[in-house]
Chain A
């Protein structure tokens, strides 16, 4: 039989479309089904171990020390002042090796290292080790540190005219086509409006945590990370050791939303401390440190210009953005990324300029680019519709491009119009008052709003190994993670469909950098990428099974653990002997540029604005989405609900507040950084439009995890305008901004 030791690799580069998918001929009929979460029982019974829960004999507890200056230099750390406290073991720092800030997603090199110079308030400068967490925390707070303070750049408004042009980030920093000024001058209708969005934090429920232990010269780190394959490379590079000397294990991740794409400061601190002590070290960030020293979504200032002809068709579109980041960091928030392909118009200007600030690193947070860019763009579209006195849904229908307006290539699949139509009908959109402030129920002004959703579809290189055991069960191994998204479930369904197994007969092993390399969870690419690798491995296994049976793969049916061919059926367990295995590998190819790939949707919201206080309550929301094949309707729906909830937060409440004098973040816990709570999240409804995408991958699926947030907040702001006639362009729309526009009592 096959597969003793060595496994064959079935590779695919996405150079050509994949007209057929084996998922359409699978007989198990589990793909797409709203199956319960594969790992759900483990989670609800507390048996799913998260990084901070690992305990090892002789483990020391570490608590990080954050700088109490926003800019300057550490002069000295008086470790002796705390090492005499009961239970305290040591204070460890390494001014050269500690990382200054987290790594960005997908990087394989260490993030910026060196912590003697302080570039933001809260920057991690040391770790205190003790026999208990409490003792370590006490000493970390008390540790005397002497600083030399320097003038910092903390105030965006004060520095916004000092910009630089950052290097490309999935989108060029600057793009121009035609002559937008001319188009604005000639257009029948124009909008020229500026918007601001604040810095935000992912606020994942699980704080960043690492448990590090060395075995000779090999480090194993249980850490809460989204991309173990690359994070292990970042960490190895930071520590100056070989790639094979670092293993990162992230079996369960309690939410990441981008903040765990790269290694964070507790990783190197734990690793270095574990080495020095010769003991396992656990370092869990305090909630305040997650805010202070991981990643923020950059604040933005955005100018949107729309130039439309007499029919409302766009002839020009401008999206000029300012964002901020630490000195020396390349990443910029690509706020204009969705504007490149969402709407037509020959004359285009999309720019990103960076303001250098001494505030914690800005990096990817759920739907980097679209999430904030569409808050501006989709509000501007609403303003255009109002100016033309046409329905905002109709305005979008009139602006469906046939080809990508910049690249002149077709869309891989695009069902925006279907989403708009189904959404408008389901939501009861025709009941919307066209003029604002027309509907009142007691003190509450009621309004409806909508917005389009779009999120680019990305593919990473991915590998996965699939084995059929002598027992007939299948095992999947990949370094891919499940950050709450449903990876465990969808991979078990893909293998189940293709190998003819109940998904519960598939063991899914994830989140270990020793496993086949994965692009991890991020950019909505996880399910499609790792799912394709599993698909390809299963395709190879199907070939091997068919060969054993002596038939063509197409002449064989796999169902319920049986291989059926030529009217005979045979249990897989018998067929595979000592077991067979195969690797699947997918990588991006020519399809990336041959077509424009994105997922689309439409958001509808109904809100109530209190006419006395300006308080806003979302009453109901509907999101209609098309993202190619839906792999598990339940986990997909949950992703969309989560995204829409993020949209509520972005529109109404979420904002990091920095003290402009010191650069200190002041609202750094969940009592004062306001994410929506249950009472803020009303009836949310999600519908999917059936779609297949041959250009994306052999699953015919597209990214979904970030689609739900894209545009969601704009639907709410547009509904607020419709409710009360107040158009706020500075997010979030807290009541103090709405209040001045409300009528007298």
Chain B
């Protein structure tokens, strides 16, 4: 581990201001950042510890929505009665992630910003455009079983590993930040994470020094049925090969609302309006689900080892829809 300066922030504004210099990183739970620092994948000059900021509350707003402090541990968020009742997809996604010990430490903000699990990203002995721009992508033509099939570029085929973020994407969450100059921003989940394009080293649209203070969930979708289905290589302590966060509402025998987000497929939590569009207003049934699944993977591209994700994503979506609607 490289030597670094360490500073503890007292307020969000102060934290943001003191992180304006390049080479500064916030540290929250540390469950991802510290691993990366030990391997020197991340070599910050300075850490600003935000873990003690008073951002660990889950509050219900007047509109019935929920505001989640960025320091709320994953375990607490998953166990919050309001979240369990009104946003079960989020609670389930959180519980599908990592392990009990990690969830106790991992924070809401840190979870959104965890880095990819691409093998090559974790090893400074190999080229990787995300770690070292311009060095090349080892995963293309290499071992890529766990990597992306949607939204990839010829520079990077990494996935975003979070489960929580997939549920938040389905729930249309908003991320609230404070910037180094004290300005606040509200960023829709849809815009928060990026696709790799030709700058895969940039995961999100956050600026240097910009601190996540809260995540807002809109007022709960009434009557919808929720599911988070995670397909993985072992029963726990494994990242998603494919995951689906689904909130579906059926009214008078027709699908009234459908929010579907996917993990394990892309550089960001994936959501495709066309998939939802195909479903909305229709009677649940197998042919319909197949059409939606076909749309989901229409532009999918495998890289050899991960080709199986294409049929897997299809099947997982269809089964999830069957489950939630009873449509066969």
Contacts and interface: CB of A to CB of B under 8 A. Distances in A.
Report whether chain A binds chain B.
Answer: yes
Interface of A: 68, 86, 134, 137-138, 141-142, 288, 443, 612-615, 617, 652-653, 657-659, 661-662, 664, 666-669, 671-672, 674, 676-680, 734-736, 739-740, 745
Interface string B102-140: 000000000000000101101111100000000000100
Contacts of B123: 288, 664, 666, 668
B231 interface: yes
B142 A661 contact: yes
A134 to B, nearest CB: 5
24 contacts: A138-B2, A141-B124, A142-B40, A288-B39, A288-B123, A613-B231, A613-B312, A613-B315, A613-B319, A614-B312, A615-B232, A652-B234, A657-B143, A657-B145, A666-B123, A666-B142, A674-B238, A677-B99, A677-B236, A680-B234, A735-B308, A735-B312, A736-B308, A739-B312
Contact of B235 (A658, A662, A677, A735): A677
B286 A745 contact: yes
Contact of A674 (B233, B311, B312): B233
B83 interface: no
Given A674-B234, A677-B237, A739-B312, A138 B126 contact: no
B299 to A, nearest CB: 21
A745 B319 contact: yes
B282 to A, nearest CB: 18
A138 B235 contact: no
B319 A612 contact: yes
Contacts of A288: 39, 123
Given A613-B231, A671-B117, A735-B308, 4 more contacts: A613-B319, A659-B126, A664-B125, A735-B231
B315 A745 contact: yes
Nearest to B309: A736
Interface residues of B, number: 39
B38 interface: yes
Contacts, number: 96
B233 A661 contact: no
B318 interface: yes
Given A68-B125, A612-B316, A137 B1 contact: yes
Interface of B: 1-3, 38-40, 99, 117, 119-120, 122-126, 138, 141-143, 145, 231-238, 241-242, 286, 308, 311-312, 315-316, 318-319, 322
Contacts of A661: 141-142
Consensus secondary structure, chain A interface: loop
B145 A659 contact: no
Contacts of B311: 739-740
Contact of A612 (B117, B308, B315): B315
A614 B233 CA distance: 10
B231 A615 contact: yes
Interface centre among A612, A671, A680 (most CB of B within 10 A): A612
A676 B145 contact: no
Contacts of B145: 657, 736
A186 to B, nearest CB: 42
B308 A739 contact: yes
Contacts of A657: 119, 143, 145
Contacts of A652: 234
Given A86-B3, A677-B237, A613 B316 contact: yes
B286 A679 contact: no
Contacts of B125: 68, 664
B26 to A, nearest CB: 21
B118 to A, nearest CB: 9
A14 to B, nearest CB: 43
A678 B99 CA distance: 11
A679 B236 contact: yes
Contacts of B242: 613
Contacts of B142: 659, 661, 666
A674 to B, nearest CB: 5
A85 B224 CA distance: 59
Contacts of A443: 319
Contact of B236 (A662, A669, A680): A680
A676 B234 contact: yes
A151 B123 CA distance: 22
B302 to A, nearest CB: 11
Contacts of B237: 671, 677, 679
A735 B40 contact: no
Given A667-B119, A739-B311, A739-B312, A680 B235 contact: yes
A131 B56 CA distance: 39
A610 to B, nearest CB: 8
A666 B120 contact: yes
Contacts of A138: 1-3, 40
B295 to A, nearest CB: 16
Contact of A617 (B2, B231, B235, B238): B235
Nearest to B99: A677
B38 A659 contact: no
